[in-house]
Amino acid sequence: MKKIIGLLLILCACTSVSAQKEKPNVLIFYVDDLRAELGCYGSETAVTPNIDKLASEGVMFNKAYVQQAICAPSRMSTLTGLRPETLGIYSIFTPLRKVHKEVVSMPQLFNDNGYKTVSIGKVYHHGSDDKNQWTTYFEKEANSYHKPENIALMERLKSEGVKPLKGPAFEDADVADEAYKDGRAANYVIETLNKVKDDNFIMFVGLSKPHLPYNAPKKYWDLYDKNDFKIPSRQKPEGAYRLALPKWGELKSYHGIPTEGDLDDDLTRALIHGYHASISYVDAQVGKVMETLEKLDLRKNTMVIFMSDHGYKIGEYALWCKQSNLEIDVRVPLIVSRETSYKNRVTGKTSDALIENVDIFSTLVEYCGLEGPDSDGKSFLSVVDKPNKKWDEAAFSVYARGKKIMGCTVTDGNWRYTEWRDSVTNEILEAELYEHKNSLLAYVNLSGNKKHQKIEKKLKKLLEEQFPRNQPFLQNDQPRR
């Protein structure tokens, strides 16, 4: 009898473990300030073999968009499945939970459903948001410098009381990957994967580069010749709304960056070099994590997503950073690779479906078989399985200019239409229409052009359906609904 009871207990235990592992895992590379400057996206300069390999193992989306081209609101939108105008948060200064205690976030939902929830590096912009909902939490680390002259500079600036205390915009110290924070983040991921390998998990790997400062080990700088980088056109869009273009104060706050005028060619090339070195540094960390997934035999049950929180400018229009409704700022790279055990797994394909980062939440809810909260996004899991499937006809974003003016924008994948409105009255102050059939860049505002009035009318209707004129945008930190 004891033997029979023992066998039954073993059988039950095995059945329990088997049932647990039937749930899929999720690992998300959430990269900061990364535009689609990758080999797999056709870049002639970026050296990204590991990300390119991941693209060959899944579906690469050519037309993925964020809901706002700035860190905090964009990341909140991904992690809650709610758009910035629903949350009412448009700035980087307001944590999610300062305004919304009631919203069910992704870590909260997965935590409640028995998943190990892991946050490593920069996931939320504000580390305090949902900190208690992660079963494993490695907070975002500060930037660091390792060249003696930069260390001395930082000490001097600190002693002088300079605020904000920011050093040079780039550094190429001859150090190991772990000297900078993304190398350490990769180590934390590997350490954590070994601990949760027998559990169900959702893991966000928040890689900070290529966010400023472009600090990366020298070996990644050495992958490039600075002189090979072309200087982008400094031409600005003709007829753009007066507040459409950002002032790129983020870059200007770093030591050694002029606060007035355009950057000269030498500094422009140095910054572009640093941006690329940072991308290759991130690519190496992706490779380490993917290798660990394979070694631990986790890839067969783990979906891998590679994404960015918004696009970026590296000198185009004589501008830098993000913070606008421009195509180059709201379009992002997105790669989704299903678990290797999935019999209908699609690999090495691209999709032109219009996908929004706000859709990620609903997609993972469906993928993991959960019951999720109300969402502004919708699952695109079916598109991952059938990349050529007909999908949405538009993607939407916003960008506030202070508390009085809101820019709301729509794309159909070829054209971008933007209205700048009074945030309270919803009066249209000015409109923009740009063609993007063959380029991220556009140099002429075609709004009001008779030749293009049909497409403008169509996009205007789509925009007003998404942002009704009888629902004005309220002040920052006040939800629209």
Q: In whole angstroms, what is the distance from residue 198 CA to residue 301 CA?
A: 11
Q: How confident is the model at residue 397, as a pLDDT?
A: 98
Percent of the chain beyond pLDDT 70?
94
pLDDT tens digits for 217-276?
A: 999 999 999 999 999 999 999 999 999 999 999 999 999 999 999 999 999 999 999 999
CB 393 within 8 A of CB 411: no
pLDDT tens digits for 131-146?
A: 999 999 999 999 999 9
Give start and end residues of each alpha helix (H) in 323-373. Answer: 327-330, 360-367
CB 147 within 8 A of CB 216: no
Pull the structure tokens for residue 132: 């208690």
Q: How confident is the model at residue 472, as a pLDDT?
A: 80
pLDDT tens digits for 99-127?
A: 999 999 999 999 999 999 999 999 999 99
A 10 A CB-CB count for 89 gives 26
Residue 471 has pLDDT above 90, yes or no: no
pLDDT tens digits for 21-36?
A: 589 999 999 999 999 9
Phi-psi sector, 138: left (phi>0), alpha (psi -120 to 50), beta: beta
Among the listed residues 340, 334, 332, 349, the one whose alpha carbon sits nearest the alpha carbon of residue 386 = 349
Percent of the chain beyond pLDDT 90?
92
Residue 20 has pLDDT above 90, yes or no: no
A 10 A CB-CB count for 409 gives 28
pTM, 2 dp: 0.94
CB 115 within 8 A of CB 369: no
CA 147 to chain CA centroid, Å, is 29
Among the listed residues 309, 332, 330, 328, the one whose alpha carbon sits nearest the alpha carbon of residue 233 = 328
Q: Which residues pair with 397 in a beta bridge?
A: 409
DSSP codes of every residue in 173-187: -S--GGGSHHHHHHH
Where residue 358 falls among pLDDT bands split at 50, 70, 90?
Answer: very high
What 3-state DSSP class applies to 68?
coil
CB 293 within 8 A of CB 299: yes
Among the listed residues 380, 183, 363, 172, the one whose alpha carbon sits nearest the alpha carbon of residue 286 = 183
- Compute CA distances 283 → 37, 48, 52, 68, 279, whole Å: 12, 6, 9, 25, 6
CB 149 within 8 A of CB 172: no
**Half-sphere exposure at residue 71, Cβ-oriented, CA atoms within 13 angstroms:** 23
- The residue assigned the tokens 């410098």 is 145
As a whole number, the mean pLDDT across the chain is: 94
pLDDT tens digits for 375-410?
A: 999 999 999 999 999 999 999 999 999 999 999 999
Give the mean model confidence (pLDDT) for residues 70-94.
96
Residue 17 has pLDDT above 70, yes or no: no
Q: How confident is the model at residue 416, as a pLDDT?
A: 98
Q: In whole angstroms, what is the distance from residue 79 CA to residue 81 CA?
A: 6
Q: Which residues are catalytic?
A: 71, 125
Q: What is the DSSP letter of 139?
A: P
Q: How confident is the model at residue 474, as a pLDDT?
A: 61
Residue 15 has pLDDT above 70, yes or no: no
Q: Which residues pair with 332 in a beta bridge?
A: 64
A 10 A CB-CB count for 42 gives 10
pLDDT tens digits for 292-321?
A: 999 999 999 999 999 999 999 999 999 999
Where residue 477 falls among pLDDT bands split at 50, 70, 90?
Answer: low
CB 119 within 8 A of CB 126: no
What 3-state DSSP class applies to 77?
helix
Pull the structure tokens for residue 93: 């200064």
